[in-house]
Amino acid sequence: MSPRRIALALLLAACGPQSATTSDDAGTGTTATATATPTTGEPVTPAVCDGLDDVPIWTDTPECVDFPGQGPTGELELGIINNRSEVVFIRGFSSGAAGYLHLTGSPGGREVHAPFVCTQEPPACDDFIDPGTGGCLLNDKLSPPLRIEPGQRHRLTWEPLVVFPVIIPAACQADPTMDNPCTTSRVPTPGDYTLEITYAHADECTGECDCEPGPDGGCTLDRETSTLTGTPTRAQARYDGVCTVLDLVID
């Protein structure tokens, strides 16, 4: 077995403590902790996998075959734990993308992020390689608020994928005219990332703010009849690109 495979096997088997204190726009602190205990009702054990060096996700001299975006190859179980004595409401992205989870990081020295917001970024490289791939479609992709009851751990599943801008040479395009900026996607390599959600407090929801909670204490509101007000509060946790279970704790 190669040294890298041995290191990866050890990393998947071992987790160490990691906590991060975050703040909202008004400076209020919230604590986010990564954990490897996925079951509601069990104690939260702070843990995050660590130990591998960053691996570059882009070569210095990319070939044309490197520009098409990759698709996800795995899943991350994300637990949102509401440790408050009141309900909280997880905010979906307000425009340009579906989902609740934002990621940032700099593996190999390159700034990457998720999700891809097609109205605010260069077009996907795939659109230059094959103009028939579909372009930017946002209809019905915005995510409604999630309500989480006090003391509950609501589970979401995310397929890890990051995006970043590159310059695609004219020679790699279906209709070569000039070099163009575009956005490509990759599965995260082991590295140091920050995962973030934003939420609203119990008194920051107006309209129809009740729904029937599921077994994990969460439910989805109707985006057309509920509105979240106030300044978004952030909860963050460190993600290493390898772990498959991670918790964000709202205190």
Are 49 and 238 spatial neighbours (Cβ–Cβ below 8 Å)?
no
Closest CA to 232 of 213, 250, 215: 250
Residue 68 predicted with pLDDT over 70: yes
Residue 145 predicted with pLDDT over 70: yes
Phi/psi of residue 163, each to 5°? -130, 160
What is the residue-averaged pLDDT of the chain?
Answer: 78
Give the domain ranges of the chain: 29-35+67-250
Per-residue pLDDT tens for 167-184?
Answer: 999 999 998 889 999 999
Q: What is the token pair recorded at 85?
A: 């004595």
Rounded distance, CA 234 to CA 96, Å? 19
Half-sphere exposure of 178 (CA within 13 A, CB side): 2
Rounded distance, CA 213 to CA 85, Å? 16
Residue 21 predicted with pLDDT over 90: no
pLDDT at 98: 76
Q: What is the full DSSP assignment across 51-93?
A: -PPP--SS-SS--GGGSSPPPP---EEEEEEE-SSS-EEEPPP
Residue 233, classed as helix, strand or coil, is strand
Task: Using a pLDDT cut of 90, give the percent of the chain over it.
Answer: 55
Residue 96 predicted with pLDDT over 90: no
C-alpha distances in Å from residue 44, one per residue of 5, 100, 153, 238: 29, 22, 10, 16
Phi/psi of residue 239, each to 5°? -130, 135
Rg (CA), the chain: 20
- Whats the size of the chain, residue-wise? 251
Torsion of CA 64, 62, 5, 189, to 10 degrees: -100
